[in-house]
Every structure is written in C-alpha cells, then in structure tokens.
Amino acid sequence: MPNYTQDRLSAIDAALLLIDHQAGIMQLVHDYGPAEFRSNVLALAKVGLAFGLPTILSSSYETGPNGPIIPELLALFPDAPVIRRPGQISAWDNSDFVDAVKATGRRKLIMAGVTTDVCLAFPAMQAAAEGYQVYGVIDASGAHDFATQSMAVQRLVAHGVTPVTWLMVAAELQRDWREPTAEATARVFHEHLLNYGMLIDGHAASQGGAA
C-alpha cells in the first residue's frame, strides 16, 4: 500500500509534463465545460511556474487537424522544451520526450494530456512501469464524457498512477502558506479557483485594501 507521507510531492522532486493541449484535440473534451477546462489547464501550468518545476510540453501533428498548442499555454513557457512528435500517439514512445524527462532528474511526474484516456493514460502507465511516481491531473486532461473519465481513472489507479486535480497538486506542493511560494500560489487561486478568489477579494475589501 502506498505511503503518502513518504511519497508527497515537493518542488524539488517533481516535473510537469503537458501533453497535447492543442486547439484541435481539445474539441474532444466534453467532461468539463470549456471555460472550466481552459481554466484548469492554465492553473496547472501556473502552478508549475510558481514552484519552478521543470516543465516539458509535447504535441502531435500540429500542422494537421490536431492544431497548434493553445497560445495562452505556450506563452507561459517560452523556454520549455516542446517535443513535437512526428507520429507517436503516446509521448512516452518518443525518445526525445523520454530523454527530456530523464534530463530533469526528477522521479515524480505530474502529467496532463488531452484526452485522459489516451494521451494522458498511455504515457502515464508507461512511466509508472519504469518506476516513476506518476500523478495524472484529470481535470487538466479532459475526456469524451464522465463515463470515459471514470474508466480511465480506474485503469490508471490499477497501474499505480495517482489521479489528482490541479488544486491537489498546488496544495501538496505549497504545503504551508508561510513558504515563499505562497504569494504566487495565492495568485493562481485568485485567478483559477474562483470561489476562493472571490473570498480573497471580499476579504481584502473588508480590510480596506485591494485584493
């Protein structure tokens, strides 16, 4: 049985892998509303930035129907490697991608891929098979419908991958609001965990200040 205390994520042992968040493929995502899903993806990306996680992007067949990586996401990572796969469906079948992961030296991989059942599930299960500790960020991956999400989550769990949301990742990395990343994390919450963001705005106003 896994031991959470030993396994917990921290900024020094994790990398972030963002796979196939492309304008075409994202049309397939129907288990989250379009604005919810977009917000989840950007939130996860900003969490990666807030904690300085080594980050790798990947895409497939961008010049075809799959479309380009959505510009809002790409703009957040001007210096990250972008592995454009010539044909492999699973990013883990692409040696450049795996090499880039290895180059990070991290053994805990926070992965999101569109869609959950394929572009997240395949490389996540492969990485787990190679001994990585893998976190699949389900609400930043997206599936055809909830039934598909649910099946994919069960398959991932059976292969040792931990299903999480972007918020679980953020909170697990932050761990204590007295840590120096607190301001950056709070900014992500303000922008993407909107019910919490409104609490921040309301509280700031009640204190006579701006949020």
| Catalytic annotation, residues | 119
Q: Which residue in 55, 58, 141, 162 binds its own copies (CB under 8 A)?
A: 162
Q: Which residue in 99, 102, 130, 183 binds its own copies (CB under 8 A)?
A: 130
Kindly indicate which of the ranges 12-20, 50-58, 64-72, 104-112 contains the residues binding its own copies, using the contact rule CB under 8 A.
Answer: 64-72
Q: Which residue in 11, 165, 184, 187 binds its own copies (CB under 8 A)?
A: 165
Q: Which residue in 10, 12, 65, 183 binds its own copies (CB under 8 A)?
A: 65
Kindly indicate which of the ranges 12-20, 29-37, 44-52, 101-109 contains the residues binding its own copies, using the contact rule CB under 8 A.
Answer: 29-37
207 binds its own copies (CB under 8 A): yes
**Residue 55 or 162 with smaller CB distance to its own copies:** 162
55 binds its own copies (CB under 8 A): no
20 binds its own copies (CB under 8 A): no
Name the residue type at position 104.
Answer: T
Query: Residue 163: what are its φ and ψ, rounded to 5°?
Result: -80, 130
Q: Which residue in 88, 96, 98, 187 binds its own copies (CB under 8 A)?
A: 88
Tokens of 41: 């993806």
Contact 169, 17 (CB under 8 A): no
Query: Residue 132: what are its φ and ψ, rounded to 5°?
Result: -70, 150
Name the residue type at position 161.
Answer: V
Give just the sign of the alpha carbon dihedral 164, 168, 170, 174.
Answer: negative
89 binds its own copies (CB under 8 A): yes
> How near is the Cβ of 211 to its own copies at its closest, in Å?
6
Tokens of 105: 């030296």
d(CA 49, CA 138): 19
Name the residue type at position 116.
Answer: T
133 binds its own copies (CB under 8 A): no
Contact 18, 49 (CB under 8 A): no
Q: In what order do the strands lie in the sheet with 108-113?
A: 82-85, 55-60, 14-19, 108-113, 133-137, 162-164
104 binds its own copies (CB under 8 A): no
